[in-house]
Chains A and B, each alone.
Chain A
Amino acid sequence: MIAFFIRVFSFFKKEIHDVRRQPRLLLSLVGGPLLVLGAFGATFRSANPFITTALVWPENGIPGFSQEQAEDFISNNFTLLDVTNDEEEALGWLEEGLVDVVQIVPEISFEEGQLSSRPEIKIISRTIDPTAEAWIRSLAYGEKNYINQQLLFQQANLAQQKAVEISINLEDAQAEFSQLSMSVDPEEIARAGEIIEELRPFLNELLEFLPPQVDSQANFGPELADVHRDIQLLSDDLDELEGVLSDDALSPKIERLENIDDEIAQLRVSIDDFAETPPENIISPFRETYTNLRGSAFSMVIFYAPAVLALLVQQLSITLASLGLVRERQMGSFEMFRVSPLKFSQILIGKSLAYITYVTLAGLVLTLLLGLIDVPIPADFGQYFLLLVLLATASVGIGFLISATARTDSQAIQLSMLVLLLSIFFTSFFLPITGFAWPAWIIAILIPMTHAIEGFQEVILAGSRIGAGVWVGLVLIIILSYSLVLLIMRRQYRKVID
């Protein structure tokens, strides 16, 4: 048993000396990516794509929405290079590549406070970048909503003014209906028909000015709905009164006159509410509040730091381990080991311990260095340390698996690069894995970095406990990779001369 540990320790010590004597390897593997992260942190400004645009603005402008408003809004997300009234000229700039996007706002005309047609804002680009295209479409959608909102605001303002005017006519009509409701003279009551005839145009005019109730782009407040509802109720009552005016019976007429008196009173209250409500509340009654229970999100650089740490630890482990067995095999050391009492498992344990020690130390140094760019130091250091060791172990396992299958140094490096590529695409490093179909999830589960990113974000950034899924994922990779390595390498070890 003691001999077992002496053999394992002998490999451990050999690897420690071997790596120690290659400082440039460690520097390039740890220092290089760290410098890249530093450069990223020092120069990063925005994740938004840089998109230039030209605006084609109608010669007659848009009532209630100025060109300056449009320019200000567009400049929030695009780099506005020029404004013109000439659509052809703007499209020429797009063809020549002088701008990325052309935005064409059409002429808009109003008839009696309503748009005469459904105008179309055209957004035209020639981009080949899918991210930029998604960004442009999203901005175009926002721009359309903004202009619609401005127009609805203007319409609501006009409707409020009209409603106040019509409220005066309603007051007169209400007084007359009230007086008739107290009369018992059928001829006098018959005059109600004339009042109805005078009142209906006002109600129709009011309806025309009110913003339409059904508009998928707008969120109208309850005040507008109340006015629409009360106009409809009053109209129904007026119809009913007209229906009974020719009857002999007096009481139904009186009853409806009293109802109409009440309905007009209710409509006037609604109109007053409508007129007193700020127009922005009518067209967009909801406002949002956002609260981040942690205070605020981290900067992009800090948010990506745990993922970069996971990537560095994984790739350092994989690089060391992937060359570890290939070099022994290429040197012919296995032949010497086979004649000695050494078992392959002892080689594997000794090498693993050495690499894990190096990588864990490198991980701790990196954590301290990341502190220089304000990345928080993990509060629960025990969990953090365990995660670092498990990530290193799982990655060393993957590295050994590469080493077991590669026949030369260059093959091992190529396979390591392949794992790096897989790690960048399928571990939520940049693109969330939920955006991929399920086969990609299997790849993600088999890459140590997937679990480590989640774990590091939890323990470093969120300050919470690492979820069980992270531990289970890493332990499974360790079991799977080491089992496969033992299976493959034991056979190779027995046939060292092949």
Chain B
Amino acid sequence: MEKMDANVNKYAVIMKKASHDFGGGAGVFDLDLALPAGSILGVIGPSGCGKTTMIRMVNGILGTTSGEVLVLDKDPIRFTANEKTKIGYIPQHFVLYPNLNVQENMHFIGGIFGMNNSERKDKIQSLLEFVDLIDAQKRLARKLSGGMQRRLMLAGALLHTPDLLIADEPTAGIDPILRARIWENFRALRDQGKTLIVTTQYVGEAAYCDKVAVMRKGRLITVDTPQGLQHQAMGGEAVHIEVDSSQIKDAMQFLIGLPQVARVDPVPDKPNSLYVFVENASKAIPMLLSQLKESEGITPTIAEPYLPPFDEVFVRLIQRVEEDLAMERIQ
């Protein structure tokens, strides 16, 4: 996580112990976060963990009950009309008008941001091309597929050229191919210098982000890069090693004894494979291969870095938090 207060201007969003308490244990609590401008922050967590509440605190719909939120250097609750144009927002559900066609919906959004007709026209065309809806521009929104509606929302949120785009579960309920395309769009925007905050229930989408905030029960468990998260979850980097099944026990015993190895786990359903956890996988692989050969005469058939899926990372992180909490309760 970035150090806060070091340079306020380089952060698009800063949250300092920010809470919004709805009462009865509901809400978000003590959120600490600093999001550098020009990056993508993915917010992941199970349904009801407080992702949307956090988003609403960032876009100025909800204030804080304690702590502080700064968006583009200002409390978003006090944004002027002009400052609000720097934010683009894609709510969780489709909120555009089913009886208006794609182009009319876009013009409507441009209108509410005060853009005149000539300003809107060219921008709409280029954005519809960007989200691949140019051929559907005369189609009524109610006749668009779920994915097209999402992309229309994305185009609408970008129409007034915001600096910060906030998207609340933009990929929910759509197929993996389309999700990948939406993330392509997001990364393209990031490359143009925009800052994005994207919530998602698809843990795997964390891989597309520059930073990932993991939430559980209204609290931030951690904020890190995707690789950092994997490292945190696994206690290091993993190396996948496959040997002859008759040598698996010997290999496991030898590897556990090495000082560079933190842990060795058998691979479920693969009796001749092991995961070896080390500090740095790419540096450790040559050393592991030579030591196995020299000491045990074992030559692995596969030795490669293993990137655990984020589902697994997420489960491990949650498990770790729950174990920590259980320990706290015992103590």
Interface residues of A (CB under 8 A from B): 2-3, 6-7, 9-11, 13-14, 17-18, 21-22, 331-333, 335-343, 496-497
List CB contacts (< 8 Å) of B33-61 with chain A: 56, 59-61
Q: Are A22's CB and B99's CB within 8 A? A: yes
Contacts of B112 in A (CB 8 A): 7, 10-11, 337, 340-342
Q: Are A14's CB and B104's CB within 8 A? A: yes
Q: Are B82's CB and A341's CB within 8 A? A: yes
Of the residues A7, A17, A332, A337, contact of B93 by C-beta under 8 Å = A332
User: Is B62 an interface residue, CB under 8 A from the partner?
Assistant: yes
Q: How far is the CA of A341 from the CA of B115 in the complex (A)?
A: 11
Q: Lowest 3 CB-CB distances: which A-B pairs, in order?
A: A10-B111, A3-B114, A341-B81
Of the residues A6, A10, A13, A497, contact of B61 by C-beta under 8 Å = A497
Residue of A with least CB distance to B22: A497
Of the residues A13, A22, A338, A339, contact of B111 by C-beta under 8 Å = A13
User: Is B113 an interface residue, CB under 8 A from the partner?
Assistant: yes
* Segment at the A interface, from B84-92, B123-131, B194-202, B286-294: B84-92
Interface residues of B (CB under 8 A from A): 56, 59-62, 81-82, 84-85, 87, 89, 91-93, 95, 97, 99-100, 104, 107-108, 110-116, 140, 166
Residue of B with least CB distance to A14: B108
With A21-B99, A335-B91, A496-B61 known to touch, is A341 a contact of B111 (CB < 8 Å)? no
Q: Are A7's CB and B95's CB within 8 A? A: no
Contacts of B89 in A (CB 8 A): 335-336, 339-340
Residue of A with least CB distance to B87: A339
Q: Are B140's CB and A21's CB within 8 A? A: yes
Q: Are A2's CB and B56's CB within 8 A? A: no
Q: Are A497's CB and B95's CB within 8 A? A: no
What 11 new A-B contacts, CB under 8 Å, besides A10-B107, A341-B85?
A2-B114, A6-B114, A10-B112, A11-B112, A14-B111, A18-B100, A21-B100, A22-B99, A337-B112, A339-B59, A343-B81
A-B contact pairs, 13 of them (CB 8 A): A2-B114, A7-B111, A13-B108, A14-B108, A17-B104, A331-B95, A335-B91, A338-B60, A339-B59, A339-B87, A340-B89, A341-B85, A341-B113
* Interface residue SS majority, chain A: helix
Q: How far is the CA of A335 from the CA of B84 in the complex (A)?
A: 13
Of the residues B84, B85, B104, B116, contact of A6 by C-beta under 8 Å = B116
Interface centre among A13, A22, A336, A338 (most CB of B within 10 A): A336
Q: How far is the CA of A13 from the CA of B91 in the complex (A)?
A: 23
Q: How far is the CA of A340 from the CA of B87 in the complex (A)?
A: 8
Contacts of A14 in B (CB 8 A): 97, 100, 104, 108, 111
With A18-B99, A497-B61 known to touch, is A340 a contact of B111 (CB < 8 Å)? no
With A10-B108, A13-B107, A496-B61 known to touch, is A335 a contact of B95 (CB < 8 Å)? yes
